[in-house]
Amino acid sequence: MVPQSPATRRPRVALYARVSTLRDQNPQMQLEGLRALAEQRGWEIVGEYVDTGYSGSKDRRPQLDALMQRVHRGGINIVAVWRFDRFARSVRHLVMALDEFRSRGIDFVSLNDNIDTSTSTGRFTYAVIAAVSELEREVIRERTRAGLDSARRRGARIGRPPVRIDLNEAHRLIAAGASVRRAALSLKCGASTLARALKGEAPAPEPSPDAPPASP
């Protein structure tokens, strides 16, 4: 068989499907629709990735992870899904994935969302989604800044409260043979926090038994 030249080689597509439960849903419906699309468009299917029993909000899904690993290895021109909510857990996740695909020259097709980044209309749709995602992030940042500014004006302390460490007790524990980590555990603080405190401050002197009592 004569190998196809790059000019005549069919685009290679990876299909992804997901269902939350096998009891109420069947991934075959999604796969059949995607296979029909591949046949219609003349794509060569090089992999089918199906996650069953996984919610769309899950950060990690075995077959989605496998698909992304295949994307990183190369040899794929297109990733096709039934609907983008089967693939991405959020608009932000979708935009990040599409940015990854675009950087690798891979098109993304969502059969029921009219998203096809190989067409001008699909690229426009992606640009709108990316813009909405960026607007959402900017609104969240502005609300966060406004909330912090309001809290500061009310005199609220921003950030974690300072850790109070009994340095005298820390030095006593270390002098008795405890490691910094063990002393930090006894004092209920982090080892690195204790190490910084020991480096920056000396322990308060113990009162001498012959010293006169302090004036009231």
Residues labelled as active-site residues: 20
- In angstroms, the CA 59 to CA 71 distance is 18
Backbone angles phi, psi at 18, to 5 degrees: -150, 140
Where is 192: in which H helix or E strand?
A: helix 191-200
- In angstroms, the CA 80 to CA 111 distance is 7
Q: Is 214 helix (H, G, I), strand (E, B) or coil?
A: coil
- In angstroms, the CA 36 to CA 147 distance is 51
- In angstroms, the CA 15 to CA 196 distance is 53
State the first-to-last Cα distance of the chain, in angstroms, to the nearest integer: 102
Q: What does 35-77 look like in DSSP terms, one character per residue?
A: HHHHHHHTPEEEEEEEEES--TT-S--HHHHHHHHHHHH---S
- In angstroms, the CA 26 to CA 196 distance is 57
- For residues 199, 204, 191, 176, the Cα torsion angle rounded to the nearest 10 degrees is 110
Cα-to-chain-centroid distance, residue 173? 41
